[in-house]
């Protein structure tokens, strides 16, 4: 009999879980459908992007209480052989971070990685600003996580899913090709 009681309790919880999931889906779709103001869309190397400050503001508004922590990081080196010696050159910084946020009362987490190339002045051992390079990798990681898991700036990063509905004319054409003409 205990098994039946557990099943009954489980079945009651299914409705609550389904309701929560529906609310989460609706909330994410609403955030995804927020149009980023054109003045905040920037370009770099031909690609659109938005500043971290815009994404942070939306995260604060639609996912209050969110946080981010670095899970792991590493400098990336390239071995170069010169005069029979192996020289290690710092070429990049990789970070993996964890976004933590609340979705309609449910605590969620998602991991993301980003890498940023180290900038040089003229030679491989003359770095511009390693601190700025590491900061850029962390910022990219946070932004990627906010877009992936919170749907922030989906219009800019081309991740918005439009509802697909066929017009009456399109249905008629499809029926015709399928041999089901009215």
E strand or H helix that includes residue 3: helix 2-32
DSSP per-residue codes, 87-136: EEEEEEEEEEEEEEEEETTEEEEEEEEEEEEPPBSSSTT-BS-HHHHHHH
> Is the pLDDT assigned to residue 55 strictly greater than 90?
yes
Q: What digits encode the pLDDT tens for the residues 143-167?
A: 999 999 999 999 998 877 665 666 7
* 1-5, 69-73, 137-141: least confident range: 1-5
Q: Residues 59-111: pLDDT tens digits? A: 999 999 999 999 999 988 888 888 888 888 877 889 999 999 999 888 999 99
pLDDT at 145: 97
pLDDT at 160: 72
Q: Which residues face 85 on adjacent strands?
A: 82
pLDDT at 173: 78
Question: What is the predicted pLDDT for the residue at 3?
Answer: 42
Inform me whether the pLDDT recorded for 4 exceeds 80.
no
- Which pLDDT does position 163 carry in this prediction? 58
pLDDT at position 43:
92
Please say if the pLDDT value at position 179 is more than 70. Answer: yes
Closest CA to 149 of 95, 93, 107: 107
């Amino acid at each position: 009999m205990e098994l039946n009681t557990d099943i009954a309790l489980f079945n009651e919880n299914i409705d609550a879980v389904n309701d929560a999931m529906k609310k989460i889906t609706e909330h994410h779709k609403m955030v995804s459908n927020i149009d980023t103001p054109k003045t905040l869309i920037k370009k770099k190397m031909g690609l659109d992007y938005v500043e971290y400050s815009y994404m942070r503001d939306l995260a604060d508004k639609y996912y209050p209480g969110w946080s981010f922590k670095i899970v792991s990081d590493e400098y990336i080196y390239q071995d170069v052989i010169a005069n029979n010696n192996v020289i290690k050159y710092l070429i990049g910084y990789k970070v993996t971070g964890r976004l933590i946020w609340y979705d309609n009362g449910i605590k969620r987490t998602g991991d993301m990685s980003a890498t940023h190339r180290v900038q040089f002045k003229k030679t491989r051992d003359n770095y511009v600003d390693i601190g700025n390079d590491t900061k850029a990798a962390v910022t990219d990681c946070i932004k990627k996580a906010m877009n992936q898991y919170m749907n922030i700036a989906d219009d800019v990063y081309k991740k918005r899913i439009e509802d697909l509905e066929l017009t009456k004319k399109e249905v008629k054409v499809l029926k015709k090709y399928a041999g089901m003409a009215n």
